[in-house]
Amino acid sequence: MSVAARARGDASSKRRLRAWIRLLGATRAAEGALREFLRVEHGTTLPRFDVMAALHRRREGVTMSQLSRMLLVSNGNATALIDRLEQDGLVRRMPSPSDRRSILVALTPLGTSRFEALAAEHEAEVARLFAPLSDADLDRLADILRRLARHDPGTAREAVQDAGARAWTRPS
């Protein structure tokens, strides 16, 4: 490879590294703002919100193993969160109708109503955080992230798909 080709490659490499650092910084800042918002305004945590969102999407209930996979956390972490949500009356454990050895976890009616109210506030906070971006900016960003995920068939695609699967949107 010529010196000029290496120099062009190095410049592109540095630009990609800077893009990664900016993306990581923006992600961490947004997540930190959402964690603080949930803690201060609603007395809850992002992990609790994520559990409730996952259960809201699967109204019939899920096993603890399914929940752990959905959230990309250990069974122990999921169990601790479910224990606290159950104590608060927001989730319930029930025997699986198809497998007597399995226990399903689902939102209670109180959990559903609390989550839906919290999710509306969460959505408004995300809208506030992304307010500097136009609709065209958001479309471009989504396209860029999809292309990035398609480029790397492993981790990037799974991360983008999992993030999309975890994202909660209010039913129309």
Say if residue 172's pLDDT is above 80. Answer: no
Say if residue 148's pLDDT is above 50. Answer: yes
- Mean of pLDDT values over 94-113: 91
Arithmetic mean of pLDDT over the chain = 86
Per-residue model confidence (pLDDT) at position 3: 59
Say if residue 128's pLDDT is above 50. Answer: yes
Neighbours of 19 (CB within 10 A): 12
Lowest mean pLDDT: which of 44-53, 98-107, 159-168? 159-168
Q: In three state form, how does the secondary structure of the chain look?
A: CCHHHHHHHHHHHHHHHHHHHHHHHHHHHHHHHHHHHHHHHHCCCHHHHHHHHHHHHCCCCEEHHHHHHHHCCCHHHHHHHHHHHHHCCCEEEEECCCCCCCEEEEECHHHHHHHHHHHHHHHHHHHHHCCCCCHHHHHHHHHHHHHHHHHCCCHHHHHHHHHHHHCCCCCC
Please provide residue 145's backbone torsions phi and psi, each rounded to the nearest 5 degrees. Answer: -65, -35
Say if residue 171's pLDDT is above 50. Answer: no
Instruction: Report the distance separating Cα 96 and Cα 5, nearest Å.
Output: 61
3-57 pLDDT, tens digit each? 555 656 688 889 999 999 999 999 999 999 999 999 999 999 999 999 999 999 9
CATH 1.10.10.10 in the chain, residues?
3-132
What confidence category does residue 150 fall into, taking pLDDT thresholds of 50, 70 and 90?
confident
Say if residue 136's pLDDT is above 90. Answer: yes
Q: What predicted TM-score, i.e. pTM, was given to this entire model? A: 0.76
Higher pLDDT pick, 77 / 83: 83
Say if residue 92's pLDDT is above 90. Answer: yes
State the fold for domain 3-132. Arc Repressor Mutant, subunit A (1.10.10)
